[in-house]
Structure 1
């Protein structure tokens, strides 16, 4: 689906070049429905950025315009993207929780002269969909690959993989299988689940029947991960000593109060933990939780949004408010800064974020369950990216 400039006013908007006192940023995310907490974390990250840095860049004030996309819906994502560009005159697009939604919006960007800053969607190929896409989240290749090293370091030889059957799930499976095999491990079976799966008992039986020492799992953060984790324990796999390994989506902090001892001891590899110990993260978490009103709701999409606003602010400064998407994106290639998650940079070749990946263990600290960082894989790019 292509955005077409059809009127004189819209042609002027697409051409850009006009000074603007207000820079509009359109943010698409799940602000209602089962994943609404993830959308609230987008908002929390944005509001934390404003609380710590202000809403202005030079003479320009940033205005956020939100659009709700409760579940993955590529057609609606494209429609909302066009409506934000044509109806609201946004100069920047951001958010995009699910990969299919980001992929559907990407073909619109160049003709509209608008960059997209991805706060969450995690398939490697998104950055290849348009040269105007920049990512401040992570990819599942990036967070899953180190777990193969972790498994082998702990003497695990036989693993079954279980993932949701969509872009990030397939990426996660591929990343782990490739790295685990290269390290001398054996994947005994690979299971892909429909995204609509709610009854995980048959999956748990396949894990048991496989005879694997561990299961590597990926599901999108949200209600499904809670169901999967609960089924893993209730079906006796944890009690039987089967190790559950995953990227950090399965133990997002907002789920830990409910998961509690069910998740205790679980190992995950991820780009961010709310418990990360740094001055930048302390300031960020205080500002984000002040907006949320409940510290237990803070989770990883907030840091993607916070850093996404840092990138957008840099773009606005570099272009002095002019609508020039290519120049805006060029200005952040190679950009480095200290994020709440640690040192990060934008890879100039693929516009994806380079960052530390942390091995975390779910642990009880002062009566609360946290993702406790125990090992660092420094300066990780995206091993799943292939040049177009």
Structure 2
């Protein structure tokens, strides 16, 4: 292959289906990074060209499109997947063909594939901080509600472990709804929440159903200031969809919020909006999709090749200044050192950052090897609570 030939990469996010609101932001973040890379001369003079398919949120489509990308489009790297069920559908494909998947989404941990780079937070980078903050500020009686697939079940199991290790911790209920749930499906759940009077609600509801949960919660007269919904997944994109009046007061744990005041972040947001307008709301998944594409390009410039064997050694241990701050790929587990934060939705629909990790961030521990008993605390993660 001549050195001037373009480099094709796979982009596998849904523009339709239950989780399209977030996946569209991930796709646009990837296209944005690719446009910046090409504007700066490409990768060693070679243009980066995305090969995009819309799997419509259906796991078997992710799998078949991944096969097509690799077999017919000759891609060596795929950026994609949101739900864990879709990631798990693609992993056997990249392992079989010895290719690489970059996965930019918070997930439940307890997984390793040598053919995946995980750039979203593991449980010790979002669940642990959220459990600690919520129990210290609101109490330890929790109501869990989630969508009916892998990530919510596993995240609720992990959150339950954190809560039950807390003095006075109690799980009041654990409920699940289908991804295509309707407004009426949430009415009995929020009524049950009101009757049981938890200290807070832990939501792993995703996609279009997120708005329905928060709307039903507001309609029944629950007060977010006293009994907030705490989430790992509700971000700026869902808030824009539901409206700030419904979202205000609720809390999310994530390494990235648009409100990060750094010049680096605000410049990145300005460039994105100049190119793509206001339709797409940047969020934690958008940011991970953006920085993983840039990180790939840096590694490939060194490798001179996007084959798995050439690229992987240049990725492992690599640092990058992302909009959230410095990140790095952990060479032992292929997950990413990130900068955990907690944000509370304000009246304007943005996030006020109420806690964040100290400089240097938190190393990924996807198996929660070192997090048992009293170690599951704010001291372990060194959160700095901000008041005001």
Q: Work out the CA distance in 2 between the residues paired with 1:47 and 1:35.
A: 19
Q: Work out the CA distance in 1 between the residues paired with 2:243 and 2:124.
A: 26
Q: Work out the CA distance in 1 between the residues paired with 2:31 and 2:224.
A: 42
Give the secondary structure class of the aligned counterpart of 1:102.
helix
Deviations along 1:66-87, one digit per CA (max 9) or x if unpaired, are 010111x222211101111111
Instruction: Give the superposition deviation at 1:57.
Output: 1.2
- Superposition RMSD in Å: 2.4
Q: 1:239 to 1:372 in 2, by over 3 A?
A: closer
2:236 is the counterpart of 1:252: yes
Deviations along 1:82-105, one digit per CA (max 9) or x if unpaired, are 111111111211111221111111
Deviations along 1:228-266, one digit per CA (max 9) or x if unpaired, are 10011111222794332222x224345236422222122
- The equivalent of 2:16 in structure 1 is 32
Residues 142-153 of structure 1 mapped to structure 2, 5 A cutoff:
142-153=125-136
- The equivalent of 2:211 in structure 1 is 226
Instruction: Give the superposition deviation at 1:292.
Output: 2.6
2:278 is the counterpart of 1:291: no
Q: Which blocks of at least 5 consecutive residues in structure 2 are unaligned?
A: 370-388
Instruction: Give the superposition deviation at 1:295.
Output: 5.8
- The equivalent of 2:353 in structure 1 is 373
- The equivalent of 1:117 in structure 2 is 102
Q: Judge conservation of contact 2:236–2:350 (CA < 8 Å) in 1.
A: no
TM-score, normalised relative to structure 2: 0.85
Q: Work out the CA distance in 2 between the residues paired with 1:239 and 1:75.
A: 38
TM-score, normalised relative to structure 1: 0.85
- The equivalent of 1:345 in structure 2 is 328
Q: Work out the CA distance in 2 between the residues paired with 1:271 and 1:118.
A: 15
- The equivalent of 2:59 in structure 1 is 74
Give the secondary structure class of the aligned counterpart of 1:225.
helix
- The equivalent of 2:117 in structure 1 is 134
2:142 is the counterpart of 1:159: yes
Q: 1:337 to 1:349 in 2, by over 3 A?
A: same
Q: 1:66 to 1:110 in 2, by over 3 A?
A: same
2:46 is the counterpart of 1:60: yes
Q: 1:158 to 1:33 in 2, by over 3 A?
A: closer
Q: Which blocks of at least 5 consecutive residues in structure 1 are unaligned?
A: 1-16
Q: 1:159 to 1:137 in 2, by over 3 A?
A: same
Q: 1:284 to 1:252 in 2, by over 3 A?
A: same
Q: Work out the CA distance in 1 between the residues paired with 2:287 and 2:229.
A: 25
Aligned residues: 362
2:263 is the counterpart of 1:307: no
Q: Work out the CA distance in 1 between the residues paired with 2:105 and 2:166.
A: 29
Q: Judge conservation of contact 2:330–2:364 (CA < 8 Å) in 1.
A: no
Equivalent of 2:87, from 102, 106, 109? 102
